[in-house]
Amino acid sequence: MGISALEAKEAYDQCGSYTEAAKMLGVHPTTVMRTIRRAEATTEAGFETPDLPSSVAPVEEIIERQMKAYKRKRIAAEARSMVDVQIRIDGPYGIAHGGDPHLDDNGANWPRLLRDLECIKKTEGLFGANVGDVTNNWIGRLAALYANQNTTENEAWKLAEWFIEELCPLYLVGGNHDVWAGGKDPLKWMMGQQPGVQGDHGVRLRLKSPSGRDCLINARHDFPGRSQYSPTFGPAKAAFKGHAYHILTCGHTHVSGYQIVKNSFNGTVSHALRVGAYKQFDDFADKLGFDDHHVFECPVTVINPEADDERKFVKVFFDPEEGADYLNFARTRYKQAKTIH
């Protein structure tokens, strides 16, 4: 709402402050101040021009818009602080935590990837998941590296779409390569067609089984903290610091590690995993002389929600086929026990 210089000056003289004058006139204090200052400057200049409307929104409108944006951001963040996932099968179930795929890279181990996907698809109760970096997604100066691979950028997104449809992930973390896409991230749209949870950098899940206790998972592309002696230092540190998660997974560094941690404050037994990458051959690692610490790229955690012993609640297998074999055994035993009773 516009006000005249006379209205602004009279209100200011009467109230003694821009804030009180603005309340009287029903405008923002900045509007009163700018109107008075413009009138004073016009008097001194000796000429007058019309007060042209601005294409920029009034500050009141901007603030209102920012308030709404903050509210949306807060609601979204609170909803993702811990996502409840209803597991719709009774008895033991498993999660195959896939490492960085880099699907379009010439060094990606496609034979192993296809084998693992087939294992997940044919195993009852085994859910796929991934810790991020689905494609190289080179940007900026790194975009020149597309010349060193067989696939184009468009073909890379085709592979990503195929991968997500095949995996139907329980969770998909946006890794650093993934989030380089910024506001044009196709992975978010692709995951919008899937029932799983997607989150840039990390997700936190509470898996609620119909036949027993909940399992808490903290999956990130990476955890803060490094040690040259322990690849799992980051996720293990998060477990030690009081986070009551049963499974903590991450990737990013293309190395593998596993550590079991008992939190002495809350008694939670945590399984900390750093998952290696499907990208087996890496020119960057060769250039910097990184040692090969790759052991596994798709470990399986088998959860028995009815377990009354922490040693039986979560079991870790470094190979999907071995994990699938144990899960089949555990589910068969569970079904037989239910039949007997």
Q: For the segment 202-212, what is each residue's pLDDT rounded down to a tens digit? A: 999 999 999 88
Same domain, 60 and 140: no
Question: 18, 47, 76 — which closes off a domain?
Answer: 76
Joined together, the tokens standing for residue 110 give 């496609």
Same domain, 62 and 96: no
| Run of H or E residues at 46 | none
Q: Nearest to residue 260, comparing CAs of 325, 319, 311?
A: 311
**Chain-wide mean pLDDT for the chain?**
91
CATH number for the domain spanning 177: value is 3.60.21.10
Same domain, 97 and 159: yes
* Beta strands 269-274 and 257-262, pairing class: antiparallel
pLDDT at 45 over 70: no
Q: Output phi, psi for 199, to 5 deg.
A: -155, 135
Same domain, 113 and 228: yes
pLDDT at 339: 82
Query: SS3 helix, strand, coil % of the chain, rounded to 5?
Result: 45, 20, 40
Sequence-distant (≥ 6) Cβ neighbours of residue 322 within 8 angstroms: 300
Q: How many domains does the chain have?
A: 2
257 by DSSP, 3-state: which?
A: strand
Q: Judge contact between 252 and 202, C-beta under 8 A.
A: no
Same domain, 51 and 149: no
What is the rounded distance in angstroms from the CA atom of residue 217 to the CA atom of residue 220?
10
pLDDT at 290: 77
Same domain, 152 and 214: yes
Q: Nearest to residue 206, comparing CAs of 341, 66, 79?
A: 79
219 by DSSP, 3-state: which?
A: strand
pLDDT at 173: 97
Q: For the segment 299-334, what is each residue's pLDDT rounded down to a tens digit? A: 999 999 999 888 999 999 999 999 999 999 999 999
Q: How many residues does the chain have?
A: 341
Question: 15, 45, 76 — which closes off a domain?
Answer: 76
Q: For the segment 229-239, what is each residue's pLDDT rounded down to a tens digit? A: 999 999 999 99
| Run of H or E residues at 128 | strand 126-130
Joined together, the tokens standing for residue 73 give 């951001």
Same domain, 156 and 89: yes
Same domain, 172 and 249: yes
CATH number for the domain spanning 28: value is 1.10.10
194 by DSSP, 3-state: which?
A: coil
Q: In what order do the strands lie in the sheet with 300-303?
A: 197-200, 171-174, 126-130, 93-98, 300-303, 314-317
Q: Judge contact between 246 and 215, C-beta under 8 A.
A: yes
Same domain, 95 and 138: yes
Percentage of the chain with pLDDT > 90?
A: 65
pLDDT at 16: 87
Q: Judge contact between 300 and 116, C-beta under 8 A.
A: no
Sequence-distant (≥ 6) Cβ neighbours of residue 277 within 8 angstroms: 99, 100, 101, 102, 133, 251, 254, 294, 297
Same domain, 102 and 47: no
Same domain, 68 and 106: no
Question: 52, 76, 100 — which closes off a domain?
Answer: 76
Domain of 25, in residue numbers: 5-76
Same domain, 55 and 137: no
Direct distance between the N- and C-terminal alpha carbons of the chain, in angstroms, rounded to an integer: 76
Sequence-distant (≥ 6) Cβ neighbours of residue 334 within 8 angstroms: 90, 91, 92, 306
pLDDT at 44 over 80: no
Q: For the segment 96-154, what is each residue's pLDDT rounded down to a tens digit? A: 999 999 999 999 999 999 999 999 999 999 999 999 999 999 899 999 898 999 999 99
Q: In what order do the strands lie in the sheet with 257-262?
A: 83-86, 202-208, 215-220, 247-250, 269-274, 257-262
Q: Judge contact between 302 and 72, C-beta under 8 A.
A: no
56 by DSSP, 3-state: which?
A: coil
